[in-house]
Amino acid sequence: MLEATLRDRAKGLVQASGRSDVPPFMVMDVMAAAARIEASGGHVIHMEVGQPSAPAPKAAIAAAHAALESGRLDYTSALGLPSLRERIARHYRETYRCDVSAERIVITTGSSGAFILAFLAMFEPGDRVAVTVPGYPPYRHILTALGCEPVLIETSSENRHALTGDALLAAHRKRPLKGVLVGSPANPTGTMMSREALNGLISAAEGAGIRFISDEIYHGLDYAFTATSAAELSPHAVVINSFSKYFCMTGWRVGWMVLPQPL
């Protein structure tokens, strides 16, 4: 009898929280199945995950090797290495002709870590945050896990699956939104918004008091025209990026945020 009671209590100690009840990210499930096939000697052509085919830059590999050989890898400041933050600020000046202070840059464990921190800093449980459909599933999964309500706004091929200011404001009129998250170039559609379209969307959002988050992880992988950063258009937008895609450093797990000064 006592043993049964203890077992029942133990079950209660390891029950998952309600916040963990989010749908699986199917890409990772497919990747795990592919890994099992490879482990048994099978050959797999990977089309499930956004893994660049090129290696990390030689300069990054050499710097990492030198750091490991130095014998010490110490704690950094909470916001990241000052030298890295300064270099990213320079990247915005050189690439976007945009003056971003290094004080506004925060280093994160990949873009996923940046999304979690940004959502925690910007939203309260119950806040409604708009994301597009089709869209990147972890956006809504992370929001749900943090107690926010993802609001799905359908896009269509008629507007290249780009979110418009009119569509955003229509959703806001139904029930007020606290934020909106947009990727450009977008996953999975590849849609990249023009400077004018992105500026119009940001203006519509900020005019309605909707906080704007820009996922720019695919910047640099553009061909027809250069991607515009939300940091060029508004000091109030939150920009999220990482070294994973353009710099081919997915496993390094290094990302960053550009935050408004108050955050």
Domain-by-domain residue ranges, the chain? 80-258
Query: Alpha-carbon distance 213 to 204, whole Å?
Result: 13
Q: CATH code for 80-258?
A: 3.40.640.10
Q: What is the pLDDT of residue 263?
A: 86
pLDDT digits (tens, 9 = 90+) for 180-199: 999 999 999 999 999 999 99
Question: What are the start-end ranges of the E strands in 76-235?
Answer: 105-108, 128-133, 149-154, 179-183, 211-215
Query: pLDDT digit string (tens) for 24-51?
Result: 777 888 989 999 999 999 999 888 888 8
Indicate the residue type of 196.
E
Place of tokens 């379209």: 197
- Checking if the pLDDT of 2 tops 80, the result is no
Distance CA 166, CA 172 (A): 10
Mean pLDDT, the chain, integer: 92
Who has greater pLDDT, 3 or 84? 84
pLDDT in tens, 197-246: 999 999 999 999 999 999 999 999 988 888 999 999 999 999 999 999 99
Q: pTM of the prediction? A: 0.88
The kind and range of the H/E element at 204 are: helix 195-207
Mean pLDDT, residues 71-84: 90
CA dihedral 154, 157, 160, 163 (to 10 degrees): -20
> Distance between CA 251 and CA 26 in Å, rounded?
19
pLDDT band at 11 (very low <50, low <70, confident <90, very high): low
Distance of CA 144 to the CA centre of its chain: 15
